[in-house]
Structure 1
């Protein structure tokens, strides 16, 4: 039976912002394997850049082969599980480097990733980088920030209307590389043609209201690079005090996968030729 496989259109952009001199964010997309990842590094001088780049390099080196094996029918865990395992590898690598390399003590990075497989999107995240979905013109936050501020709002310590001014907004409670192990948030979302997933660091989500993100992405959904550029520009117009990084992933209808003929059919075809 032919199955309809979704295709992806992707765009990504990373900007240093208007205040900082170093960009410690990292972003990568791979349309062939259905991957988008962002990371927001933290640490001493250049250490955040090291952590975010190291984590993304490990993911983008290991994931494509795993995805290809999964698509070929290899017996292995589902994408959500093998992606979590690779994130654990990245965590150990960053943690070890932080302990062994001069100037990298205490470094770490947030991480947000989406991975398309079949009609589902695997979502994985650690820290306060976010994943949104625009569907039918409505923007929805799909992730929960690992931050002290979010915990305080949930416990009623801080009113949600006061959260934007809190000094605790950038204190994350989970990150890649700050401990020997890490807890990764995992979820699966069924996709529909036309869905747009937005991954972003807090340099965007802190400075651009969700209503404005929704308007820009919905209005420019047929031109994702332009949408990305407008979002970064608006964050800079609103202060640009942090690095700004994002990836946009648009789900499109694909072509039916053509079933390969069985060996017997191929044999008869060869004999008849």
Structure 2
């Protein structure tokens, strides 16, 4: 997930953490990428995927929400082909629905090799 406040840049919620309470096999960090490589096909974490019981430990982050803040919720189908500066620029230049369309279009143009799923969520006032 990436987040952008009213005047904030896009930031990525890091998924490079180890969760020992879930057992030693749950690590959400892959091997270092080669120079110039932005993506990997390695699955670093999933929900379920085993025949037996395994605790699920999703990445959860708490944030203070303010009226007007926008959050970009997306898959790696968007963030793999597009660098953070492009996400930031599009989010700053376009309002909600138009930002979604422009980000999708940019990912397609960049050769997005994966499913491109995204939503912009705006925090409303009372």
Residue 232 in 1 paired to residue 111 in 2?
Answer: no
Query: Which residue, 82, 90, 106 being the options, matches 1:216?
Result: 90
Q: Residue by residue, what CA displacement relative to the aligned partner does 1:208-265 show, whole Å, maximum 9, x if unpaired? A: 11111111111113xx1111111111111011321110011111221xxxxxxxxxxx
Residue 151 in 1 paired to residue 30 in 2?
Answer: yes
Extract unaligned runs of 5+ from structure 2: 18-26
How many pairs does the alignment contain? 114
Paired position in structure 2 for 1:96: none
More helix by share: 1
- Aligned equivalents of 1:149, 1:242: Cα separation in 2: 20
Alpha carbons 1:134, 1:197 under 8 Å: kept: yes
Mapping 1:26-65, distance limit 5 Å: none
Extract unaligned runs of 5+ from structure 1: 1-130, 255-273
Mapping 1:56-75, distance limit 5 Å: none
- Aligned equivalents of 2:88, 2:112: Cα separation in 1: 19
Which 4+ runs in 1 deviate beyond 4 A? none
- Aligned equivalents of 1:208, 1:184: Cα separation in 2: 24
More strand by share: 1
Mapping 1:135-150, distance limit 5 Å: 135=5, 136-144=7-15, 150=29
The 1:198–1:145 alpha-carbon spacing in structure 2 relative to 1, beyond 3 Å, is farther
Alpha carbons 2:80, 2:112 under 8 Å: kept: no
Residue 134 in 1 paired to residue 8 in 2?
Answer: no
Paired position in structure 1 for 2:115: 243
- Aligned equivalents of 1:142, 1:149: Cα separation in 2: 12
Kindly report the root-mean-square deviation, in angstroms, between the aligned alpha carbons of the 2 structures. Answer: 2.5
TM-score, normalised to structure 2, is 0.76
